[in-house]
Amino acid sequence: MKILHNFSPNYSKKTRSKNKINFVIIHYTGMQSEIESIKRLKDPRYKVSCHYLINRKGAIAQMVNDRNVAWHAGKSQWKNFINLNNYSLGIELVNKGHQFGYQNFNIKQIYSLIRLCKFLKKKYLIKNENFLGHSDIAPMRKIDPGEKFPWKKLSKFNIGKWYKKKKIKIVFNSKIIETLFYKNLQKLGYKYFSINKRSFRDKKIIKAFQRHYLPKNVNGQIDKKTFEISYFLTH
């Protein structure tokens, strides 16, 4: 696997230990071109960066050393982890994103991502379920890598969590299902909601879950299919 170097000055200078690298967070660049994306990721004024950038042709460039904290996750939570920058590696995929014309991810780009993730997983002993999207850890602010990202495909290479269908012995009752659904999300690691109190945040969290596991049905509703997938993932 060939990795180019195009280093950014945007990172925390203090190095972290190898065992502090527990997650890989996947993003899209959300800018109109690869050149614009690189400029942004290297511009000290914006204070954003990533560890790796993969372009549409599948070329991989390292922008921050793994042992340094890159600034890619922002305000974020997953399980008991707060500020995922400190515990993760960030990978940006060149894609215009929803603002400028969301694209299907190029097959070469995805296979380069798979190779890189397999390498990082082995090197840092990263758990399968700890390969996440930006919208999983920051659902109030982010929607990337979005509903076109092939999580199911990655799971076939043991990258990221996916589900297997099972029999469910629960009668579909909206009130019961809602409570159970949020408990399932809590088990997975999603934050920013209360099991006992609904809020405006909930729809964004449901959509984040759907973008990852039910990309053809991102409606923010706890329908039967959405609940079932949350159950498959946690039981």
Do the Cβ atoms of 94 and 29 come closer than 8 Å?
yes
What does the alpha-carbon distance between residue 33 and residue 203 come to, in Å, rounded to a whole number? 31
> Could you tell me the two tokens for 44?
């000290």
Q: In what order do the strands lie in the sheet with 23-28?
A: 3-5, 60-62, 52-54, 88-93, 23-28, 131-133
- 155, 186, 207 - which closes a domain: 155
pLDDT tens profile 18-60: 999 999 999 999 999 999 999 999 999 999 999 999 999 999 9
Whether 26 maps to a domain, the answer reads yes
- 128, 155, 182 - which closes a domain: 155
Amino acid identity for residue 56 in this structure: R
Q: What is the mean pLDDT of residues 126-144?
A: 97
Q: pLDDT value at position 75?
A: 96
At residue 196 the predicted structure's pLDDT band, cuts being 50, 70 and 90, is low
Backbone angles phi, psi at 25, to 5 degrees: -110, 125
Query: What percent of the chain stands above pLDDT 90?
Result: 89
What does the alpha-carbon distance between residue 90 and residue 164 come to, in Å, rounded to a whole number? 28
- Is the pLDDT reported for residue 197 higher than 70? no
Q: pLDDT value at position 185?
A: 96
Whether 165 maps to a domain, the answer reads no
Whether 162 maps to a domain, the answer reads no
What does the alpha-carbon distance between residue 8 and residue 12 come to, in Å, rounded to a whole number? 11
Whether 167 maps to a domain, the answer reads no
More confident residue, 169 or 69: 69
Whether 163 maps to a domain, the answer reads no
Question: Pick from 57, 24, 216: which is nearest to 133 by CA?
Answer: 24
What does the alpha-carbon distance between residue 29 and residue 18 come to, in Å, rounded to a whole number? 26
Give the number of domains in the chain.
2
Q: What is the CATH number of the domain that holds 68?
A: 3.40.80.10
- Is the pLDDT reported for residue 201 higher than 80? no
Q: What is the mean pLDDT of residues 148-174?
A: 91
**Is the CA virtual torsion 199, 200, 205, 210 positive or negative?**
positive
Q: pLDDT value at position 226?
A: 96
pLDDT tens profile 79-112: 999 999 999 999 999 999 999 999 999 999 999 9
Domain co-membership, 117 together with 206: no
Do the Cβ atoms of 63 and 54 come closer than 8 Å?
no
Whether 29 maps to a domain, the answer reads yes
Structural domain that includes position 197: 174-234
Whether 113 maps to a domain, the answer reads yes
Active site residues: 92
Strand-strand pairing, 52-54 and 88-93: parallel
On the CB side of 88, how many CA atoms lie within 13 Å of its CA? 28
Whether 188 maps to a domain, the answer reads yes
Domain co-membership, 147 together with 208: no
Q: What is the mean pLDDT of residues 53-78?
A: 98
